[in-house]
Amino acid sequence: MTAEADPSDPRRTSVPRPPKPPKRSRIGDLSMRVVYRVLAVAVVLVVAAAAVVAALVFSGTSDRPGEVSSGQVAAPPAATPSPGSSPVSASPSVSPSASASVSASTTPEASASPSPSTLEGVARDRSAVVAAFADPRVPELPRDKKLARLYGKAHHKGKRVLKDRRSGVWLARLSKPWKIFGASPFSTKQVLPKVKGAPVRAMVVSCPVPIQAQRHAKDTALLAARWTLNHHPEDSRISWLASQPIKKGWLLTYKVKYKVKGKARFSVAAVAVTSSSASRPAMVFVTIPDVQRPYWRDVNTVVSSIKPK
């Protein structure tokens, strides 16, 4: 028989059980803190990827140079002044007399509208005309008045014609001492010999209008006349002689007053604009200084010979 141990026996000792290991998460042996950090990083990466995809979808084709995204319209380029023209800003306040002139230039009987073939690029507002009347060099337009016969003798033999195919207009080819000269920047050019001491050379030129065509030919002629001051001495001023309709257009005749070495001088000039087969109206411009007054009659000859084609 086996002897039972006496509980009071000092030699009998109890052995304690070992402690249970700490609980671990189900994801291997990683602690929960590490798991949370990994999940947070994953969420950030997913959000960033979604933002990139959305940006690419909404950008459309706007990432291509020179293109705009759908729904946007590029603003039209600002209008640029014609070569050699002096910029004059439209004054916010225009005198009553100037306003009256602006209104008078649009009356049905005084305005010849361009043909449908020349309406492309026509100004849609009258800001340029208002600016022209605000220019101190350009007075109010006179009432319609035909050009009188000017002093001198006509220099035109027979039916000699100069054809400006670029502008779509024919005009008289004047005889000697007039001669054909280098046309640039115009389409055609006829000149008289230079006079010593004269700041202006007599010339007859034709070309498409160098300014933006207006809805009414009279307004276009006004802006063209103002533009011709670039071919006269600085600070030249206009004094009107005649204003009249011509076939498919308008004619303005005027004096251009200026000073040479402190002495008052002037030229007789005319500008005619007319619609033609070309995409823009044609302009014929003639100017003859007072030192060559025997040739003033050629102004009548030229303007009466203009034929749009």
pLDDT for the residue numbered 257? 97
Please give the Cα distance from 163 to 287 (Å, whole number). Answer: 20
Domains and CATH numbers, the chain: 96-308 (3.40.1000.10)
Q: Which two tokens stand for residue 48?
A: 């960033």
Buried b or exposed e, range 264-294, using 16+ CB within 10 angstroms: ebbbbbbbbbbbbebebbbbbbbbbbebbee
**Start-to-end CA span in the chain (Å):** 147
- Answer whether 229's CB lies under 8 Å from 240's CB: no
> Measured between alpha carbons, how far is 258 from 80 in angstroms, rounded to an integer?
28
Dist CA 93 CA 157 (whole Å)? 51
Which two structure tokens, joined as six digits, stand for 185? 């920047």
Q: How far is CA 241 from CA 30, 149, 218, 289, 302, in A?
A: 103, 11, 15, 15, 16
Torsion angle (degrees, nearest 10) of CA 199, 205, 208, 213? 60
Model-level pTM? 0.63
Q: Any idea how long the chain is?
A: 309
Helix (H, G, I), strand (E, B) or coil at 273: strand
Indicate if the alpha-carbon torsion angle 119, 120, 124, 127 is positive or negative.
negative
254 phi and psi angles, rounded to 5 deg: -160, 165
How crowded is residue 114: how many other Cβ atoms within 10 Å of its Cβ?
A: 23
Are the beta carbons of 259 and 269 closer than 8 angstroms?
Answer: no
Find tokens 């009998």 and name the residue.
12
Return the pLDDT at 123.
79
pLDDT tens series, the chain, 309 aa? 444 445 555 555 455 565 555 555 454 555 666 666 777 777 767 767 776 655 554 444 333 333 333 333 333 333 333 443 433 333 334 444 444 444 444 443 334 444 444 445 687 788 999 999 999 999 999 999 999 999 999 999 878 999 999 999 999 999 999 999 999 999 999 999 999 888 899 999 999 999 999 999 999 999 999 999 999 999 999 999 999 999 999 999 999 999 998 999 999 999 999 998 888 999 999 999 999 999 999 999 999 999 999
